[in-house]
Amino acid sequence: MQRLGEADAESKSPDLQPSASTRRKWTLTQEAFDKLLDALGPDRERAGEIYLEIRNNLVRFFEWRGAPLPEDHADETFNRLAKRVAGGEEILNPMSYCLGVARLLLLEINKERVKEQQALSEMTTSQALHEAVDDGAEARLECLRSCLETLSPDNRELIVQYYQGEKGAKIENRKKLVERLGIPVNTLRMRALRLRERLQACVEDCLKN
């Protein structure tokens, strides 16, 4: 069975300079996945069926609540469950336990979406690079252009595409980024957040000068 939602380590980009805690991020291993299946039942084939049943329920859970990437969130829920099982925690009711983990994950996702919406109101998107409303906007755009040039080409492309588009188009852009980069959605979100914070600090310093 294919291991789903495996959490990859963040790219070691010099622009991001990941912390030691980020480099030590827990990763789903084959051993941990096997222990997860063992927790779902003694019969491996039946455990696999239970895994797929629970995953389908989780996907629907996130879909009904408007989460941006339901399948990725379902996989992340299983990753967190696998980590706890690998740590020796006993799971008596896997379905109920997964829903509890999914609810906590949904809270995190919603908080991140609020941050992203705030970021969109603060940061000029790629479309705005070609517009100037007044002198203040022109100065900010010029600073943003300069700050974008301080990023590597890959990170510059990532941050522009991450915030590009509206609603459905934006979600589709982010799905394509996840597929092209081969990283989990949470890793992409973290990279984009760090790049945005760096750009904001750069733009503010530029405007002061």
Q: pLDDT tens for residues 35-44?
A: 888 888 889 8
With 0-12 / 13-18 / 19 or more C-beta atoms within 10 angstroms meaning exposed / middle / buried, residue 128 is middle
User: Predicted confidence band at 167 (pLDDT cuts at 50, 70, 90)?
Assistant: low
Above 70 in pLDDT, residue 164? yes
Above 70 in pLDDT, residue 16? no
Inter-residue contact 119 to 196 (CB < 8 Å): yes
Residue 26 three-state SS = coil
Q: Mean pLDDT, the chain, as a whole number?
A: 76
* 1-15, 85-99, 167-181, range with greatest mean pLDDT: 85-99
Show the domains of the chain with their CATH numbers: 1-8+23-112 (no CATH), 123-209 (1.10.10)
d(CA 92, CA 116) in angstroms, rounded, equals 37
* Per-residue pLDDT tens over the stretch 108-157: 888 877 776 666 555 544 444 444 444 556 777 788 888 888 888 888 88
d(CA 79, CA 166) in angstroms, rounded, equals 30
